[in-house]
Amino acid sequence: MASVPTVTTELGALVGLAGDGVRRWRGIPYARPPVGELRWKAPRPPSLSGGVHVATEYGPHAMQAPDPMNPSAVCDEDCLYLNVCTPEGPVPEGGWPVLFWLHGGGYRVGHGEQLGDGEEFARAGIVVVTINYRLGSLGFLHLAGLFGEPEADAGVCGFLDQVEALKWVRRNISAFGGDPDRITVYGVSAGAKSVGNLMGSPLGTGLFAQAISSSGGADHVATPEAGTALARRLLDEVGCHDVEALRALPAKEFVEAQERILTGFQALWLWRPTLHPRVLPEVPIEPIRRGSAAGVSLLVGCNSNEGSTYALMLGDDVATAPASGVLNGILGDEGASRLLETYLRRVPDLKSAKIAAMGDERYGVPTQRLADAQSAYAAVYRYRIDIAAPGVPEQLDGGHGTETTMAWKTPLPLATQGSAVNPKRERAALLIHRSWVRFIRDGVADADGPEWPPYGPELRPVLVFREDTDLVLDPRSDERNAWGDTEWESGTWFPVT
């Protein structure tokens, strides 16, 4: 029988769980509950200190729309908790490397433990930290444009939560056997865009040594004008424009109101951090281009058909409805037409071309630009994933979010409903996990697959994970060139009425 693991932190003694080769501590508060007068305020240090505390149950998820796949999930405004999973056994000299995970969900939904505790990473000699952070209108409601400087942090609360959790980890992770100087921040989708924000924010400097960005970039922030317009729309929906009265309303009223504005997959990119003079002074890709994250090694990539997940969830017609407006707004009518003609060389019809282009607008192009920017200042390893997890229907090959269970080596319940497992895909999935482990532990991405050299804009080497994984130089260069160097403001695809 495994002994009960206990560690001493600034919060006091934390009692966790042990078994299956790992140790776990759950529901650790890294900040005070952001309720009452602390709603829409920067996180404050936790009040818990001294004594012995049982840390065996997850904390509540951030307030969000109900999850039909997990109807019993507990959501609460009191949500600023993290979880730690470590290897069993003696701690090596200097400690284990640390993986700090930021979940995805479009800043609207999600929670830290949605992929589990990270047991497979821990068994590979890595300390895994997963966190919850504020979401939606409770995490990213830009009130400064309506109520002035006292509400300056309201539009970046969720991002400040991530920074606060990282600070807590740096101060306390050595108690769990982790090395605070070997932290890798890792996120997917909104979590990956959060990684980009950390790389570009002055608040992220020195908090982590490496980064993994899966389907992200460093571009998804709102201007103060856009943030103010959305905040005004939300307050109109709530029916209250007094800031003190707003703090007294039940949290669920804000979730219900934001879901009336946009809901489901159409709402995934409505909420996002707003530019802030101290926190996010400019779109993060710009300071990254100037070296704000110099020395931070980066594993970065996306999937080959990100938009297919949206098409599956929304239907082709709904998913492609905003394409003309979005693409024409970025490239102009002629440029958008040339772009779709370029995609039509690879995909069978115009609808497929629009799905592919929209996926690249949100993930592919921002990923490319983040790789280009950071490669001037640190080692960068770039990948593309062309398959879904073994057993998942092939119609989701390369779809958004379909790689995470492979990277985490997490069994998928959906696999039992999918196609027969392909041994080549099983090997590719295992290689993905081993490559991530190697990067977190050693700072290089080579595992037991093809040679994987650092990325640079001259040759643009990309490791393409597929049934026959291979290194490809500048894949789909015609599509990359069709986008050109045009910059655009990243926002929601769907109109807010």
Q: Which helix (H) or strand (E) holds 17?
A: strand 17-19
Is the pLDDT confidence value at 63 over 90? yes
Q: For this structure, is 400 an active site residue?
A: yes
Mean pLDDT score of the chain: 95
What pLDDT shows up at residue 1?
Answer: 46
Residue 157 lies in a domain: yes
- Reply yes or no on whether 489 is catalytic: no
pLDDT digits (tens, 9 = 90+) for 423-457: 999 999 999 999 999 999 999 998 888 999 999 99
184-223 pLDDT, tens digit each: 999 999 999 999 999 999 999 999 999 999 999 999 999 9
Helix (H/G/I), strand (E/B), else coil: 436: helix
- Among 112, 50, 65, 47, smallest CA distance to 85 is for 112
Helix 157-172 crosses helix 190-200 at what angle (to 10 degrees)? 70
Q: What CATH number corresponds to the domain at position 379?
A: 3.40.50.1820
> What are the tokens at 193?
């865009």
| CA nearest neighbour of 308 among 353, 345, 356, 368 | 356
The three-class DSSP label of residue 388 is: coil
Residue 252 located in a structural domain: yes
Residue 415 confidence class, pLDDT cut points 50, 70, 90: very low
**Within a domain: 1:** no
> Is 325 part of a structural domain of the chain?
yes
- Over the stretch 3-32, which tens digit does the pLDDT of each residue have? 899 999 999 999 999 999 999 999 999 999
Q: Measured between alpha carbons, how far is residue 233 from residues 40, 224, 225, 269 in Å? A: 17, 14, 12, 16
Whether 78 is in a domain gets the answer yes
Beta bridge partners of 276: 280
Residue 495 within any structural domain of the chain = no
pLDDT band at 416 (very low <50, low <70, confident <90, very high): very low
Question: What is the count of structural domains for the chain?
Answer: 1
- Which domain range does residue 22 map to? 6-483
| Selected catalytic residue, list 119, 120, 151, 306 | 306
Catalytic residue among 53, 61, 164, 189: 189
111 domain residue, yes or no: yes
Task: For residue 62, tell me if it sits in a domain.
Answer: yes
> Which residue among 103, 111, 400, 433 is the active-site one?
400
Q: Answer yes or no: 103 catalytic.
A: no
